[in-house]
Each structure stands twice: as structure tokens, then as C-alpha cells.
Amino acid sequence: MRILAKDAVNHIGEEITLEGWIHNLRELPEFSFIVLRDRTGTVQGILEKPDFEVPQIGNEYVIRMKGNCVKSEIAKAGFEIKITGIEVLSKVVDELPTQINKKNPVEHLDRLLDYRYFSLRHPKLAAVFKVQSCISRGFREYLSSQEFTEIHTPKIVASGTEGGANLFKVDYFGRPAYLAQSPQFYKQMMVGVFERVFEVAPVFRAEPHNTSRHVNEYTSLDFEMGYIKDENDIMDMEEAVLQYVVGLVNETCQAELELLGAKVSIPTKIPRMRMTEVHEILEKKYKIKYPQGFDIDPEGERAICEYVQKEAGSEFVFIDGYPIEARPMYTMPDLEHPGDTRGFDLIYRGMEITTGGQRIHGFDMLVDNIRKFKCNPDDFTFYTDVFKYGMPPHGGLAIGLERITCQMLGLKNIREGTLFPRDLDRLTP
């Protein structure tokens, strides 16, 4: 029976069988060291004057290794495998494209991405996606515990959620269609059925950016919930989600966090600020001024996070009260603050990771707002018709999975937190 690397320590004094990749092979005159790697980690084997024929092996060969698990004062783990047999399961037939067994990746990011299917064998690179998996699992687990229903919405759609901008057009049996920018319309529809829904799925943005913050396909963590008072209920729910996610990451990904040198925490209450207040602080403290009605840019996001960190000790900050010009047509206007909406963003360590808010739930207001955005309501009847039949006050948000991963782990480029990035220049692998 195959024993995994992490479990080998429980079999000291026994003969065991392990399977995996040769992470490092060091051949000396009298003996050889083989470090074997599997999905759980590495284990060291020592090959001394074998009484069996040793096959040709090298780094990244896939082997089955048998041996006696014995205590060792020299081995870092406190034990090693005295090898009694090796079977090659798969050979390496070409030069390795990147180095897997160095402490840190040594290749340029572009090369690591070109050979993503191989470079991710590096434990430090793979650790990023183990943490990312934990983030999405925590999102699902918490919302499921709060009686949210997971849904799966179309990714080929008839129109865009934001008035038709930045859409990838596709030929759908001779008629135009588009890749979905967001599940927004569909998750709102399903509030009319389930009250609370969520989805973890890809979205597509045909934005010609080529920055460290943008890719053209990313994974969105969406939820939408009905019977809310206002957008503060949505922010409350996100606080609870993120507290659960951060707790789960710290509980289950300690080895990965240590490998990546990352520390993750979240306050019990995330500070909340209105956009007008943010503009005032940025102008007064940082000499950064924006025209009225404008969103803040990456420089402003970094500056306001620096301010909140100093003043409140929080790496997170909600910014509420976004101007109408900076929000989609379905965002609820703030009648108490004319010109503003009940839309918000969550900024984490200097980068926006969430966009959310309360939505318009009345049919007449929604149709009127679509016209105000210079769109034709007739193009959105598949969406607006549901509001004819009674929709509760509702709202929701979308978290960029790759962005929260990068900010949590201190990665410098969103492509480092994207399994197979799609951007202006990259369509393979």
C-alpha cells in the first residue's frame, strides 16, 4: 500500500512503499540521496550499496520506492528511508524547463507561466494555489451555512451587465453573443427564487490592460441576498465570510503560509468610510485630488489603506457611497446623498478586491435608470421582466479570487495567483 510523504513518520521501523517525483538526486561515491516528492511534501531516502539493479533515474522521474523507515539524527525530518527497491513509473525525456528543487523559483515570471504545468511543481508556487483553494472552499462553506444556495449561471449571454462595454463577442450559431462579464443579472433573478445565492465561476473582461493588477479571465466569488435594509447588510455578510475564510486559511494552510512568508489576519470590524471622506483625506494628507464624481485610482487605494492602517490598525477598508457615474445601472441610488449610490468597494492592502452594493429592486426605477445610462430597456427585458413580479430589497458583491489571493500572500503580480493567466499576450498554455 502506498504511504504518503507526510505519513511516513508514522511508520518508523516498518518497510513502506512511496510513489512520487524525484525532487532531488544527489549521487556520492558510496551512496546516493533521493528526495521524493508527492502531493503532501517530501521525504528523504538513502541508497547504500544496493543488492538490486538500480534503473536509470534523474530529477522529476516518477518512481515507486520501497524501503525501511528508520530514525536518523542526520536527516532534517528525524527519519529517512533505507531504500530496498526502485521502480521507474515514468521517465523524463527532455531537458527540464525550470528548476523545481531550489528554495525559491529562479526563472523569470514569463517562463514560469510558459511552463505553468511544470513550474507549479515547485512547492512554493504550488502553495499559492493550495491557499487559493482554501479561500474558495471557505467562501462556499460559510455561505452554505447561512442558507445560501449555490447556483451556476450562463457564461454565454445575449448582452453585457454594464451596458455592453468590454465584452468578448462570439458567434452563436450566426447571431452575436458575448462571454459573461458577471453573473449579476442571473444572481439577481435567483434572489426572486431562493432569497440567498452564490456562485464561484469565471468571468471575462475584454479590457486592453496589461498591468500587474489585471487579467482578462478571472474567478469571481459572487453572492446576492434578499430582504436587506441597505448595503451595510452586505458588508456585514462579507465581514463574516472573510473572518471565516481567514480563520480557515490560518487553521489549514500553516505550512503554505510559512513557506510563502505570509501572515494573514482580519479585524473583527472592518472600518467603513464614505467616498467623500476618502477624497478629503487623500487631498489633505496625500495631496491626491480627484474630480467630483470620480472613483479613486490605484495610487489612491494604496494611500487610503496606508492611512487606515495607521489610524485603525486595519489592512481592510470599506469605501461606501460611490458616485452614480462610477457604478453600474442596476445600483441603488442613495436618496439621502444625491449623486451617490449605495455601492461600495473593499480595499485590502492597497488593492480593490470587492465591488458590491444594494441593487434597484423596483421595476419602474430600474427601467428609468437603464434609460439614464443611455441604454435601451428593450435590450434587457429578459432581466427586467422578473422585477414585474415582486422582488425584495436585495444586494450583493463580487470578490476577485486571484486578487484576494495575491493580497493575502503578498504577491506582486496577479498572474502569480492565476493558474493559467489570460491577458493581452497570453492564450496558452
461606501: which residue's cell?
320
Q: Are 17 and 66 in contact (CB under 8 A)?
A: yes
Count of CB atoms situated within 10 Å of the CB of 7: 14
Q: What angle do CA 267, 269, 275 make, to 5 degrees?
A: 110
Name the DSSP letter for residue 115.
T
SS3 of 213-245: CCCCEEEEEEEEEECCCCHHHHHHHHHHHHHHH
What pLDDT does 258 receive? 97
Q: What angle do CA 320, 324, 330 make, to 5 degrees?
A: 90
What pLDDT does 363 receive? 98
What pLDDT does 161 receive? 67
Displacement of CA 186 from its chain's centroid (Å): 22
Spell out the residues 6+ positions from residue 184 whose beta carbon is closer than 8 angstroms to its own.
Answer: 161, 222, 328, 330, 398
Tens of pLDDT along the chain (429 residues)? 999 999 999 999 999 999 999 999 999 988 999 999 999 999 999 999 888 999 999 999 999 999 999 999 888 899 999 999 999 999 999 999 999 999 999 899 999 999 999 999 999 999 999 999 999 999 999 999 999 999 999 999 988 766 556 899 999 999 999 999 999 999 999 999 999 999 999 999 998 888 999 999 999 999 999 999 999 999 999 999 999 999 999 999 999 999 999 999 999 999 999 999 999 999 999 999 998 778 899 999 999 999 999 999 999 999 999 999 999 999 999 999 999 999 999 999 999 999 999 999 999 999 999 999 999 999 899 999 999 999 999 999 999 999 999 999 999 999 999 999 999 999 999
- Which strands sit side by side in the sheet containing 316-320, from one edge to the other? 149-150, 196-204, 217-226, 394-400, 351-358, 343-348, 316-320, 272-274
Which domains does the chain show, CATH number per domain?
5-90 (2.40.50.140), 118-417 (3.30.930.10)
Which of 394, 323, 329 minimizes the C-alpha distance to 160?
Answer: 329
What pLDDT does 162 receive? 62
Q: Are 427 and 256 in contact (CB under 8 A)?
A: no
Entry pTM: 0.95
Q: What is the CA radius of gyration of the chain?
A: 26
Packed helices 298-312 and 275-286: angle between N→C axes, nearest 10 degrees: 90
Amino acid at 257: L
Q: Are 115 and 98 in contact (CB under 8 A)?
A: yes
